[in-house]
Structure 1
Amino acid sequence: MTNHGSVFRKSGALLMASAVIAATWGGTTVPSAFAAAATPASKTSTATITLAKTPASAATFLGAMEEAATLAGVPFTMDKLSGTTIKRKDVAVALQQWLKLDPATISFKDVPEQADYADAVASLNAAGLMKGYTDTLFLPNAILTENDVTVLKDRVYNYIKPFVLEEATIMDLQTAMTQGKLTSKELVQQYLDRIEKYDDQGVSINAVLTINPDALQIAEQLDAERAAQGARGPLHGIPILVKDNFDTNDMPTTAGCICLKDSIPAHDAEQVKKLKAAGAIILGKTNLHEFAFGITTSSSLGGQTLNPYALDHYPGGSSGGTGAAIASNFAAAGLGTDTGGSIRIPSSFNSLVGIRPTIGLSSREGIIPLALTQDVGGPMARTVSDAAIMLDATVGYDKKDVSTAYAVGKIPSSYTDFLDVNGLKGARIGVAPELIPSTKAEEKAVADVIHNAVEELKSLGATAVPISIPNLTEINKYPSLSGYEFKFQLNDYLDSLGEEAPYHSLSEIIASGEFDKAQEQSMKARDARETLDTTEYKDIVLKRTQVTRESLLKVMADHNLDAIIYPTSTQAAGLIGEGQTSGGNNRLSPFSGFPAITVPAGFTTDGLPVGIEFLGRAFDEGTLIKLAYSYEQGTHHRQAPELTP
């Protein structure tokens, strides 16, 4: 792998990634754009702030920069400055020379193009280290204050610190590539190295089924595109892993079954196509519970995937391969599917964020179906912000999936606009005691974490409202439709593969014997179903959906709720070989079609991750993201597994 030999930016403009911090200058009231490297000047040009009066000496500034360099582990070679005070233009020159920033276009009326500090001002502005006070004013002669030094120290440290792959967010990766610390090709190689070290050998998580043989070449092409045209967006050059029931036209799509080990569809699934269009690299395909039947993630093709937090425990399922892989930092983020809980359960068991979108928000075209009445595909990530970026890239109308017509006009410009650290302030969150059981020891371990999470929600400004969900007993009596629809929809999928399909029906697969024999009875029971034209099936589809939706909407309206929360799974990850249960909470979302998001809530006393789930109204993913992000930022419960450092 190439070693750049420097952590300093060589080309391009820094993505605006630092937090908004108040800036101070010389005791006057001026616009606060200097403080807003992460905020466009147009949003800050009219804001004013009373500034502190304590000027900083040149020695104070130099000391702070040297400390930032020491913390980052890079050489400090800034030229000496002198004086009891230091001007803003002098700071720009000193930083530009030290960091070797490329020139940029000047855009401030009070900085003449011929000024000896003009290039420095422009490059610092482009790098996000020193912004203008307004769209057009830089105030080069303003005096640096002690508070400004604190702000600069933080920004400079974050700018020069070496790139660290583990737990890096999508925006961290983009910033590193923009600064020249990293290329997409190098990033792909680093993830491949981790997969080889921890998935193929060592602790052998066994999460990844297939690696894209063209991943490095694709990354190289995207690096060239970035250099020539800039990035397409936040997913440009970002490696993503997808569950192996999403069609990929350059890798087999198997559902974990040996019977489909050589099946390469002609077209990508719609969500995969959208990710590629956004510049993402599909790094590989992940293991799943075969045909998404269960929640322990074992398949005839991939075997048993392990939980990276406890190798003798299940990773959840059916998207357990994606869950274990993303938790282990094998890719930036991933895709899973969810019929009953298959995104949210493995996300909970792997200290991840998982979004089950409203049915119709994202296309299911090209996903091997389990039950289309309930099926969705959605993001699994280490942070809420990464999940929001993934959701942005994968939602939208698809004429091949009529359900997506319901979402037209209901998709915001970006779900990242809802990333509000104060999102829980004033929120009303429904808490139903019947959804937090604690009669068994394994339930109590989870319940203790959730009760603590409720207190955390309140401390972050939310009101916890005791509720009782109407008709909950009746709702829980209804079955999942996977036992009804699977045969017919799988046969349709196999038919879509054309003459090259290895098998053309569930009956043929069963006859071949090329599947996980532990699922034989379930597969035969599904194959024995002759028609969906029955009163029983129609009653489930119509009445189950109606009673679930109306019950949830009524309790939310009666109590003016923004969301309802509960444990994603009422039990943590179980020991492999001893079975796994999750409770019925995760059915509320698929039975209603409403969205849900799970976010890390902490760990049991045995060190197993626990997730808290937020359920909202149809197409209200934005509100759920706002609440979950505020909770995440207020608690920071996510921890990387120690077994895959």
Structure 2
Amino acid sequence: MQINGRPLELSDVAALRAAQLSGATTARRIVDAYLDRIAAFDASGPTLNAMVTVNPAAREQAELADRKLAAGEPVGPLHGIPVVVKDCLDTADLPTSFGSEIFADYRPSADASVVRKLRDAGAIVIGKTTLPDWATSWFSYSSRSGTTRNPFDLDRDPGGSSSGTGAAVAAGFATVGLGTDCGGSVRLPASFCNLVGVRSTPGIISRAGCNPLVGVQDTIGPMTRTVEDAVRLFTVMAGFDPADQLTYAYSVARAPVSYLDSLRPDALVGQRVGVLRSAFGSNDNEHARPVNEVTEDALTQLVAAGAELVDIEIDDLRGWTERTSMYTIKSKYDIDTWLAGLTGAPAKSVDEIIRSKRYHKKLDLLEALAAGPDDPFSDLSYHRAYSAREDFMKLLVNLMESENVRALVYPTCQVVPPTRKDTDSGLWNTLNFPTNTVIASQSWLPSITVPAGLTGSGLPVGLEILARPYDEPTMFAVAHGFEQVASHRHLPSNTPVSA
């Protein structure tokens, strides 16, 4: 299917919406085309295994959107746009499993706040996507769905925990997708699947209707092929929500009416950007060397966009990320509290899940957090980590201020997407994997990953851009400015474009 001379799989929200408004296509035709790709490539062909559930009512919902448009009714900014949603975000019309076989048939009574907002804006949820149990891994291991394959290299993992959304959007199963990000679960799979992925300052977007991992750190964000599409979804989802107390942050942010106003093609001209050299892996490491090569090329492209780069070092960066980690301290309490409040939940605690043995046995973090304190507030390690988080944020922001840089950039992950052999063998686990996404997560700062290019063997590499608290406009501006000079949009050869 072609949209204004471009394959559907490379078409963005604006183009699809314009094509519907002009009568060049319909929401039903768009949904049909995406469903055809899911049928061809998810359970068949390369068998990506990115989808948990395909919405049986998607065609009917698309036809309703077409009727509304034909009747001259008002249409939203995402009218007729198919979206895939990570299966830990509540959907009243589809099961929500949280990646767990225990919850395979669980049906929430209402949509998550972000899902409701997308639907109110006209989007069509075409299906739910895979994730590891309770979003507790950098990799795609799930008791509900098994493993998901990276469409750029079928022998490699797409990254976690928003594994299915990353693989699905990259393969062209929907225009855009939603993931959740506590330590990097939007940005890591976005980096590994050649996508844009966004982590907001916590509280800019409501988390109501989503399972927690570390409640004070959790976010929900878009995963898209372009910065502009990410900003379109972000603008729809952002806002105060009485169901999530952390959204007080939205008023503190003094958010613009539309974050699209941040997107200027010349945003980097004359601007200073810090390169966080401490976040690069060693060139002696065969897994890190290709990432460094692509990142250095991306830095050259930043300069071509008009930026002035400033090298910045942080002593003991790894120590900072270790001291600010709260998974094994706080996650058990947050998940237990949330499960206890679910009506009809088939399990009520992490301990119950572990005792059942009905979880994927490669989920080392799930086992580790199960050993955490029942009451973290009585545990000094929690208060130390919380205090260190504040110090880490101050360190990063003060560095940006003292060096007069708008943002910091670095590789989203120090290494290329791991092979299944590597993850199965235990070369990497959740607590030792060298992802840089934890820098923003554990300082509660906003960041975005954008495609930086492909390695010589065709593996995607992401460039992460970190900004000050509540300064999503700058984050988007830098990302968009880079994208205008160095667009690295590719469809994987394992899922070729349609005719």
TM bucket normalised to smaller? over 0.9
Please point out which of 454, 458, 467 is paired with 2:299.
Answer: 454
Give the Cα–Cα distance (whole angstroms) in 2 for the partners of residues 540 and 286 of structure 1. Answer: 36
Give the Cα–Cα distance (whole angstroms) in 1 for the partners of residues 53 and 250 of structure 2. Answer: 33
Give the Cα–Cα distance (whole angstroms) in 2 for the partners of residues 460 and 432 of structure 1. Answer: 19
Alignment of 1:556-595 (within 5 A): 556-579=400-423, 580=428, 582-595=433-446
Tell me, yes or no, if the aligned pair for 2:227 and 2:476 is still in contact at 8 Å.
Answer: yes
Give the Cα–Cα distance (whole angstroms) in 1 for the partners of residues 115 and 352 of structure 2. Answer: 28
Give the Cα–Cα distance (whole angstroms) in 1 for the partners of residues 160 and 384 of structure 2. Answer: 24
Amino acid of the structure 2 residue aligned with 1:621: E
How many angstroms does 1:541 deviate by? Answer: 4.2
Matched, 1:488 2:333: yes
Amino acid of the structure 2 residue aligned with 1:627: V
Paired residue for 2:92? Answer: 249
Alignment of 1:72-221 (within 5 A): 161-162=4-5, 164-221=7-64
RMSD value, Cα: 1.9
How many angstroms does 1:521 deviate by? Answer: 7.8
Tell me, yes or no, if the aligned pair for 1:295 and 1:342 is still in contact at 8 Å.
Answer: yes
Give the Cα–Cα distance (whole angstroms) in 2 for the partners of residues 524 and 196 of structure 1. Answer: 37
Give the Cα–Cα distance (whole angstroms) in 1 for the partners of residues 72 and 406 of structure 2. Answer: 42
Tell me, yes or no, if the aligned pair for 1:345 and 1:582 is still in contact at 8 Å.
Answer: no
Alignment of 1:54-65 (within 5 A): none
Amino acid of the structure 2 residue aligned with 1:629: H
Q: Secondary structure at the match of 2:362?
A: helix
Amino acid of the structure 2 residue aligned with 1:337: T
1:46-87 per-residue CA deviation (whole Å, 9 max, x = no partner) reads xxxxxxxxxxxxxxxxxxxxxxxxxxxxxxxxxxxxxxxxxx
Question: With structure 1 as the length reference, what TM-score do the two structures score?
Answer: 0.73
Paired residue for 2:386? Answer: 542
Tell me, yes or no, if the aligned pair for 1:247 and 1:253 is still in contact at 8 Å.
Answer: yes
Please point out which of 285, 299, 304 is paired with 1:440.
Answer: 285
Matched, 1:518 2:362: yes
Structure showing greater radius of gyration is 1
How many angstroms does 1:606 deviate by? Answer: 1.3
Alignment of 1:307-456 (within 5 A): 307-408=150-251, 410-438=254-282, 439-456=284-301
Alignment of 1:4-83 (within 5 A): none
Amino acid of the structure 1 residue aligned with 2:312: I
Amino acid of the structure 2 residue aligned with 1:432: L
Please point out which of 444, 457, 464 is paired with 2:309.
Answer: 464
How many angstroms does 1:426 deviate by? Answer: 1.3
Give the Cα–Cα distance (whole angstroms) in 2 for the partners of residues 340 and 400 of structure 1. Answer: 23
From the superposition, tell whether residues 414 and 368 of structure 1 become closer, same or farther in structure 2 (CA, over 3 Å).
Answer: same
Tell me, yes or no, if the aligned pair for 1:163 and 1:181 is still in contact at 8 Å.
Answer: no
Q: Secondary structure at the match of 1:592?
A: coil
How many angstroms does 1:164 deviate by? Answer: 2.9
Q: Secondary structure at the match of 1:643?
A: coil
Q: Secondary structure at the match of 1:417?
A: helix
Give the Cα–Cα distance (whole angstroms) in 2 for the partners of residues 585 and 547 of structure 1. Answer: 18
Amino acid of the structure 1 residue aligned with 2:290: A
Give the Cα–Cα distance (whole angstroms) in 1 for the partners of residues 380 and 265 of structure 2. Answer: 46
Q: Secondary structure at the match of 1:517?
A: coil
Q: Secondary structure at the match of 1:311?
A: coil
Tell me, yes or no, if the aligned pair for 2:329 and 2:369 is still in contact at 8 Å.
Answer: no
How many angstroms does 1:214 deviate by? Answer: 1.3
Relative contact order higher in (CA < 8 Å, ≥ 6 apart): 2
Alignment of 1:599-618 (within 5 A): 599-618=450-469
From the superposition, tell whether residues 406 and 443 of structure 1 become closer, same or farther in structure 2 (CA, over 3 Å).
Answer: same
Segment of structure 1 superposing worse, 228-237 or 368-377: 228-237
From the superposition, tell whether residues 416 and 314 of structure 1 become closer, same or farther in structure 2 (CA, over 3 Å).
Answer: same
Count of aligned pairs between the two proteins: 487
Q: Which runs of 5+ in 2 are unaligned?
A: none
Please point out which of 254, 261, 274 is paired with 2:104.
Answer: 261
Amino acid of the structure 2 residue aligned with 1:609: P
How many angstroms does 1:528 deviate by? Answer: 5.4
How many angstroms does 1:407 deviate by? Answer: 1.6
Paired residue for 1:635? Answer: 486
How many angstroms does 1:471 deviate by? Answer: 5.9
From the superposition, tell whether residues 526 and 615 of structure 1 become closer, same or farther in structure 2 (CA, over 3 Å).
Answer: same
Amino acid of the structure 2 residue aligned with 1:456: Q
How many angstroms does 1:341 deviate by? Answer: 1.1
Amino acid of the structure 1 residue aligned with 2:488: H
Tell me, yes or no, if the aligned pair for 1:468 and 1:555 is still in contact at 8 Å.
Answer: no
Give the Cα–Cα distance (whole angstroms) in 2 for the partners of residues 163 and 472 of structure 1. Answer: 44
Q: Secondary structure at the match of 1:200?
A: coil
Question: With structure 2 as the length reference, what TM-score do the two structures score?
Answer: 0.94
Give the Cα–Cα distance (whole angstroms) in 2 for the partners of residues 415 and 228 of structure 1. Answer: 30
Q: Secondary structure at the match of 1:572?
A: coil
How many angstroms does 1:217 deviate by? Answer: 1.1
From the superposition, tell whether residues 461 and 413 of structure 1 become closer, same or farther in structure 2 (CA, over 3 Å).
Answer: same
Paired residue for 2:495? Answer: 644
Paired residue for 1:129? Answer: none
